[in-house]
């Protein structure tokens, strides 16, 4: 099998506003989706999802994407996962010039679905890479990012920015403003994630912000203000030495901007009680700053704290299911064939 992995991400700044052309700064984190692909002799696609923080499932369907499988898992979850995998397979077929290529696909992910950590982008990026490599074509990470963006754009009915997919394909911290996507030389920030065990509906949340923005000038200005916060954050990152541990001054200034960013997202209606509880738990534990990450509605927050305090406080916060330190993932999409082969060998030996 050909195996690829790609990282999830947190937004330091700028989700939602990035959909309207404002800049955003997401950072890839060491939580990865791994996709193994084997080409088939027919045009069918068989998908096995081992752990998408939902019950594992296996489905097989023909080349017709409308041919939905009959499985014993809640339909919206299967549809969400399958929609992205369908779209990734279509992109791989297009890149290969092989519209009838069939694949066996096995997905494993330690990124919770729909929780603001970029699970769908990571699955799509890794799936495009593994499927194309399985038929002998190696794509540049920028092309994978572009194709993954097209896949997300299609599944999310045109309501997607390039931020999640570019970040997952390239790794590290990135800056995205419309079509302009760049990698950043950022210092290694002490990121802590809190997860409420829930998920938000990205399409509905993006549509809600769009409706507010169209109805009220002050909501449109709120979106613009998020862009201003991002630009201020970028200046801080640009002035920092990426080889040094970030100092207290930098962390407290970045943290203040994260707090501000959360307030603006809250005003746009995309926070939730559990996200706010976790943000406040982090602030009370003296984190430099905290905000929701991703589409919101439920899922994850990200805080800045080099000490253990925030992680500990989050663990004791009602409604917080998991808290962990998120290391920046320097590598974006990568081949895992050797690692997978080594693991199989080790399992065979034991």
Decide: 301 and 285 in contact? Cβ < 8 Å: no
CB nearer ligand MEV, residue 22 or residue 86:
22
Active-site residue among 86, 129, 164, 196? Answer: 164
Q: How far is the CB of 156 from ligand MEV (least distance, A)?
A: 7
CB nearer ligand MEV, residue 246 or residue 294:
294
Q: How far is the CB of 293 from ligand MEV (least distance, A)?
A: 8
Q: How far is the CB of 149 from ligand MEV (least distance, A)?
A: 9
Q: How far is the CB of 202 from ligand MEV (least distance, A)?
A: 5
Give the DSSP letter of residue 26: E
Nearest to residue 44, comparing CAs of 29, 30, 26, 61? 61
Q: How far is the CB of 19 from ligand MEV (least distance, A)?
A: 5
What residues have CB less than 8 Å from 13, skipping those under 6 apart?
24, 25, 226, 229, 230, 233, 257, 258, 261
Decide: 14 and 174 in contact? Cβ < 8 Å: no
Q: In terms of residues, how long is the chain? A: 350
Encode 235-259: b = buried (16+ Cβ within 10 Å), e = exposed.
ebbeebeeeeebeeebbebbbbbbb
Can you tell me the distance from the alpha carbon of 350 to that of 343, in angstroms, rounded to the nearest whole number? 11
CB nearer ligand MEV, residue 15 or residue 336:
15
CB nearer ligand MEV, residue 295 or residue 328:
295
Binding residues for ligand MEV, per CB under 6 A? 15-16, 18-19, 160-161, 163-164, 202, 206, 294-295
CB nearer ligand MEV, residue 176 or residue 192:
176
What are the C-alpha distances in Å from 60 to residues 125, 161, 271?
21, 30, 37
CB nearer ligand MEV, residue 289 or residue 294:
294
Nearest to residue 116, comparing CAs of 218, 199, 237, 28? 199
Can you tell me the distance from the alpha carbon of 337 to that of 238, in angstroms, rounded to the nearest whole number? 36
Can you tell me the distance from the alpha carbon of 165 to that of 115, in angstroms, rounded to the nearest whole number? 15
46 in helix, strand or coil?
strand
Decide if 164 is catalytic: yes
End-to-end CA distance of the chain: 21
Q: How far is the CB of 119 from ligand MEV (least distance, A)?
A: 9
Q: Which residue in the shown chain puts its C-beta closest to ligand MEV?
A: 161
Decide: 37 and 103 in contact? Cβ < 8 Å: yes
Q: How far is the CB of 111 from ligand MEV (least distance, A)?
A: 12
CB nearer ligand MEV, residue 61 or residue 153:
153
Catalytic residues: 164
């Amino acid at each position: 099998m050909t195996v690829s992995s790609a990282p999830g991400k947190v937004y330091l700044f700028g989700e939602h506003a990035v959909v309207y052309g404002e800049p955003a700064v997401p950072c890839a984190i060491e939580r990865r989706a791994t996709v193994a692909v084997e080409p088939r002799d027919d045009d069918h696609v068989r998908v096995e999802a081992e752990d998408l923080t939902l019950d594992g499932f296996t489905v097989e369907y023909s080349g017709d994407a409308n041919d939905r499988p009959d499985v014993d898992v809640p339909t919206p979850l299967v549809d969400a996962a399958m929609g992205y995998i369908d779209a990734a397979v279509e992109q791989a077929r297009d890149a290969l010039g092989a519209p009838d290529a069939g694949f066996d696909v096995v997905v494993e992910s330690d990124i919770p679905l729909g929780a603001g950590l970029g699970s769908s982008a990571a699955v799509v990026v890794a799936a495009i890479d593994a499927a194309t490599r399985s038929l002998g074509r190696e794509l540049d990470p920028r092309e994978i990012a572009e194709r993954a963006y097209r896949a997300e754009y299609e599944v999310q009915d045109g309501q997607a920015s390039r931020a999640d997919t570019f970040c997952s394909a390239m790794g590290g911290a990135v800056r995205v403003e419309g079509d302009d996507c760049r990698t950043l030389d950022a210092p290694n920030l002490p990121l802590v994630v809190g997860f409420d065990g829930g998920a938000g509906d990205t399409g509905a949340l993006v549509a809600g912000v769009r409706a507010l923005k169209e109805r009220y000038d002050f909501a449109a200005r709120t979106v613009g203000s998020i862009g201003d916060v991002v630009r201020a954050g970028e200046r801080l990152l640009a002035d920092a030495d990426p080889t040094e541990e970030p100092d207290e001054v930098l962390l407290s200034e970045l943290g203040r901007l994260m707090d501000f960013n959360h307030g603006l997202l809250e005003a746009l209606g995309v926070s939730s009680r559990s996200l706010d509880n976790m943000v406040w738990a982090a602030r009370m534990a003296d984190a430099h700053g905290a905000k929701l990450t991703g589409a919101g509605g439920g899922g994850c927050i990200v805080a800045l704290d080099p000490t253990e305090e925030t992680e500990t406080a989050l663990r004791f916060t009602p409604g917080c299911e998991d808290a962990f330190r998120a290391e920046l993932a320097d590598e974006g999409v990568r081949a895992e064939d050797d690692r997978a082969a080594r693991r199989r060998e080790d399992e065979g030996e034991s």
